[in-house]
Every structure is written in structure tokens, then in C-alpha cells.
Amino acid sequence: MNDRAPVVAGGSADEARLLFRYLGGEEWREYRAILSVFADTFFSEFSPQEVIEALQSVDVVIDEAVVPDRLESLRGWGNLAVSTSIGNPSSLDDYYRRRHRYLITRAGQEVYDVVEGILHRVDQVGDVQAGRLRDIYRALQHLNSLCDRGLETLPDGQVVDVVRAVFDPHESFSTEITQFFASINQWQSRFDLSDEEITFFAEILVGYVSEQLVEIERIARPIASQLRALSPQLDEIISHARSGLAARVDDAGLADTVSVRHSTGSQRADWDHLMRWFGAGAGVDGRSRLDALTRQALAAVRTLTANVTRLSRVGAGVASRRHDLVKLARFVHAAEHADDVQLLMAGAFGLFPSRHLGMLAEDAEDPVAIQTEWAQAPVARVPVSLRERGERNQRGSVSPVRNRAAERERLRHRRQRERDAETQTANELLAAVDADGRLTEITVSALALRRLRMLLGASSARREPGGQRRSAIDRELQCDVTRTAGEQVIIHCDDGSLTLTDATVHLHPVPGAFDG
């Protein structure tokens, strides 16, 4: 049983956010299918078994065992509520079966409608109904005529109906035009347009936007004139527009404790917003919201035209970056070897394999770090040609390439001496073993002892768990160490002695190491 408290009306924003929790997990499709059973059924109650049967009737596959838990989760988030009606149970089991019945909440219904609307229209470009502006204009004309006759002589409810006839089309129109321009703004920056989408832009959308802007501008000015004419009577209009549940809550003095949504047009802020929208009142920057949308639409049309011109270099839409990328992906998929893929990437994007060269950075000789401020850094060395004549081109003969033959010869001699020393220590160690290659008690140089210690350490690193023998190879020498109880190996040198207990050590030359 879910022990979370359900979301209640008037709760905080954190509690209201839980209403969308069913969309966050991998089971969101199951929650969505369950809520679809309760949609538009405010007074219908369903038990878990009835929910399962309803889902099966529409061929929705869901594990019957998880349905009760899903219902309890939706109840805890506030999307569903538990029914308080138990009817007339005939037994205790019947009582509990009736008690576990659910119905959808108002908040759950609203969230479901919003989510379903977004999911069904997420990729659609919505139409803009400019005819709604004509409805607004006719409603404002009617309201002006009522004000001329006197609002106090009108029957109750007539002013409310006319005010709703003004604001309902405006809400629908503002939502449509905002979503439409948002779609244009999202599409205009895309580079993966298909041939059909380019044709849609070039032949349909650009012309449609231009026609809508002309129609909107033609109707918006008369609407602004009607709103300015209504401005002196707004207080009287608002007083007559107050009605319904919100007005009764305000009259009862419960507005601070009960949250009720006021009808649009019954407050001064609604009319101020409407006037700013159509330019009848001063906006934030002195312009109306409709003017701002018009400017944004014109900018979008220019961008669309530029994109269409760029993307349709041949005809009405045969060239697209998406087409090139899909073609490249087809080549990569058909490649038989990884080297072929590297060649494709190098040819398409210039992505060559990395090479790490032992070269100093350009700022390796700088006396200070790059984070040092210029006022605190030492004076930079500026070439004479740049400092005195402002010339950046190199003058004079090209500097000769430095002869590094002496450095290379010194490196060669040093490496040869190191190889000779390693060979000498190998011969010294091999000369100290007996006929079987075994070390017992010997005296060697410090370099030979160091070489032997490196071999012993390398053999320990390669030891297998539980093994009695380990070995290692270092160029000319092979060292074998065997665990032998009671045996002892002692190596003396000028720096000290090394003693190995319970072990035998054999040294052998690697075949072919001393040839040549």
C-alpha cells in the first residue's frame, strides 16, 4: 500500500509537481494507459480488476499483478483519489473490494489533458485562425454599444457573456500564434531537412506567414480603437463582469483561504494585458505584443528564405546536409575494415589519427605562466621590424638549419657505452654461476648486483599464485627462481650483501643474444 499523502487542492508547487511523476519512469506507458481509462469520467469509479478488463478490451498488454501498485502510486501523486462510497457490502471481503475503488481528480484530469495534447501535437505545425480577431472586434463593438445604452439597465449575465466573447477568442488566438511562431523558430535553424520539408518551406510556409501577417495587421488596428473607446468604462464593465463562484467567494471574504480561479475579464489586469497586446496601452518598450510577434515573424521569414535558398541549390530541394550525412553513414556501414572507416572520416571531416611528437610547446620558454596579468609580466621581446617599422614579414635571409650532428654522435656514444656496460654485467653474472647455471655464493660488482635485483623483481611480478617457480628475461639474461626449502643464495658486492633463503637461482644466456 502506498503510504504517501495524496496531493490536495491548493497545495504547494512541489506537491503539484508530483502530478507529472507518472511520466518520469520506464513504466510511463502503463500509467498513461491506466489514466486513459479514467479520462473524462469524473464520477465513474473503477476497481483494479475493472481497470484490467478495460485495458484488455482495447488490446493494451499489462501485467495484472502491477495494476494495484500503479493505481496506488497515481493516488499518492494526486492523479487519482480513493472512492468514499462503499455501497451495501454483503461481507468483509466485499467491503474491501468496494473500498479499493478509484476515480480521477480534477488536477489529474487537467494534467492528463495537457500531456496528451502535447504528445499528440509535438511534431505538428498548428494553424493560426485569424478569424478569431474578427470575433474579438465584433464582441468589442457590441460591448461599446451596451456601454452607450447603460450597463445598469441590462439583465444579469449579459455583460458577462459579452466579456467572455472578447477574451475566449483572444486566449485561443494568442496560444495559436505563439505556438506557431515557436514552431517556425525551431525549424528555421535545422540543417537536416528532407526534400519534402524544403518544398514545404519554399512553396507553402513562407507565403502563408506573409498572408497571415497582413490579415492580422489589418484587423488589429480596429480592435485597438475599440479598446481605447472602452477605456473610460472599464471599472463599470469589471464590476458587472464579476460573477460565478469566484465572485461569491470574494463577497464572503474567503479569498485568502480558498483558491478559486476568476473568469477572464473580471479583473483590471486582464484588460490591461489585452490593451498591451493590441497596442491600445503602452507596453514595456512602448510597443504592443502583436508588434513584437510581427517583427519576430518577419525575421523568421527572412531566415527561412535564406535557408531555403541555401538548401535548394538545385531545383526545389535536392541538396541537404542530412542527405550527405546519411550517404556517409551508408559508406561507413558498408566498410569491410576499420582502416576504411578511418579513411572515410579523414576524407569527410579531416579526422586523422593522433600522433604524439616529442616537441616543446610554443610557450615553453616563457618566463611566466599564461595566467599572469600583462601588467605584472616582464617586458615581451618584440622584433625590431615590428617594433620600429610595424612590419610582420620576415626580412633578410632564411636562418640556416642547425647542425645537430655532434649531439647525435654524443647520444650514439652514450647509448653504446650503456649497451657495453649491460653486456659486461651479463658476462660477469654468467661467469659466476656453476656448470648448471646455478648461483650459490658469489662476489660481483655493484652494477651486476643491480642487474640481478632487477631480474629477481621482474620474476616476482610474473609469479603465478601457488607456483613454485618463476622466471624473467632481460635482454641477454634469463633468470629462473625456484622455491627450495633449506637452500640459500648469497651475493656479495662493495655496497653490501644480498641473501635469498629457501630458493635456488639459475642464470642462462638468451639464445642468440651474444651473436654479432
- Looking at residue 256, its pLDDT comes to 58
Domain final position from 63, 92, 121: 121
Its pTM stands at 0.42
Three-state DSSP class for 453?
helix
Any domain includes 3: no
Any domain includes 338: yes
Other residues' Cβ atoms within 10 Å of the Cβ of residue 113: 12
- 81/182: higher pLDDT: 81
Helices (H) and strands (E) in the chain, counts: 19, 7
Same domain? 181 vs 265:
yes
Q: What is the share, in percent, of the chain residues with pLDDT greater than 70?
A: 67
- Looking at residue 40, its pLDDT comes to 67
Same domain? 52 vs 20:
yes
Q: At 307, is the pLDDT very low, low, confident or very high (cuts 50, 70, 90)?
A: low
- Which helix H or strand E contains 469, and what residues bound it? strand 469-474
Distance between CA atoms of 98 and 78, rounded to whole angstroms?
20
Any domain includes 111: yes
Same domain? 43 vs 70:
yes
pLDDT exceeds cutoff 60 at 317: no
Q: At residue 152, what is the residue type?
A: E
Q: Do the beta carbons of residue 487 and residue 502 sit within 8 Å?
A: yes
Mean pLDDT of the chain: 75
Helix, strand, coil shares, percent, the chain, to 5: 55, 10, 35
Same domain? 338 vs 226:
no
Same domain? 163 vs 304:
yes
Three-state DSSP class for 148?
helix
- Which helix H or strand E contains 502, and what residues bound it? strand 496-509
Distance between CA atoms of 264 and 269, rounded to whole angstroms?
9
pLDDT in tens, 372-413: 777 777 777 777 777 776 666 666 666 677 788 888 899 999
Distance between CA atoms of 74 and 379, rounded to whole angstroms?
71
Any domain includes 495: yes
Provide the grid cell at 429: 653474472
User: Where residue 39 sits, what CATH number does that domain have?
Assistant: 1.10.10.10
- 344/265: higher pLDDT: 344
Q: Which residues pair with 426 in a beta bridge?
A: none
Provide the grid cell at 434: 656453476
pLDDT (average), residues 357-383:
71
Assign 3-class secondary structure to 269-332.
HHHHHHHHHHCCCCCCCCCCHHHHHHHHHHHHHHHHHHHHHHHCCCCCCCCCHHHHHHHHHHHH
Any domain includes 438: yes
pLDDT (average), residues 178-201:
64
Q: Which residues form the domain of 334?
A: 326-353
pLDDT in tens, 446-500: 888 888 888 888 887 777 777 778 888 887 888 888 888 888 888 888 888 888 8
Helices (H), 92-233: 92-99, 106-121, 131-149, 158-187, 195-200, 206-230
Domain final position from 121, 154, 173: 121
Same domain? 214 vs 345:
no
pLDDT in tens, 293-305: 667 666 666 666 6
Domain final position from 121, 155, 186: 121
pLDDT exceeds cutoff 70 at 351: no
pLDDT (average), residues 270-286:
70
- 90/417: higher pLDDT: 417
What does the DSSP assignment read for 38-82? HTT-TT--B-HHHHHHHHHHTT----GGGHHHHHHHHHHHTSEEE
Any domain includes 387: no
Measured between its terminal Cα atoms, the distance across the chain in Å is 85
Q: Do the beta carbons of residue 271 and residue 234 sit within 8 Å?
A: yes
Any domain includes 112: yes
**Which residue from 224, 235, 226 is spatially nearest to 151, judged by alpha carbons?**
235
Distance between CA atoms of 143 and 136, rounded to whole angstroms?
10
What does the DSSP assignment read for 90-127? SSHHHHHHHHS-EEE-HHHHHHHHHHHHHHHHTT----
pLDDT in tens, 65-119: 888 888 888 888 888 888 765 545 556 555 555 556 788 888 888 888 888 877 7
Provide the grid cell at 437: 647455471
Q: Which residues pair with 497 in a beta bridge?
A: 492
Domain count of the fold of the chain: 4
Q: Which of 21-30, 415-424, 506-515 has the least mean pLDDT?
A: 506-515
Q: At 515, is the pLDDT very low, low, confident or very high (cuts 50, 70, 90)?
A: low
Q: At residue 309, what is the residue type?
A: T
Same domain? 108 vs 170:
no
Backbone angles phi, psi at 485, to 5 degrees: -65, 135
Q: Which residues pair with 164 in a beta bridge?
A: none
Any domain includes 68: yes
- Looking at residue 243, its pLDDT comes to 66
pLDDT in tens, 111-163: 888 888 777 665 556 667 777 888 888 888 888 888 888 777 777 678 788 88
- Looking at residue 413, its pLDDT comes to 92
Same domain? 109 vs 183:
no
Same domain? 139 vs 283:
yes
Same domain? 191 vs 89:
no
Q: At residue 390, what is the residue type?
A: G
pLDDT exceeds cutoff 50 at 35: yes
Same domain? 191 vs 222:
yes
Q: Do the beta carbons of residue 477 and residue 510 sit within 8 Å?
A: yes
Same domain? 253 vs 200:
yes
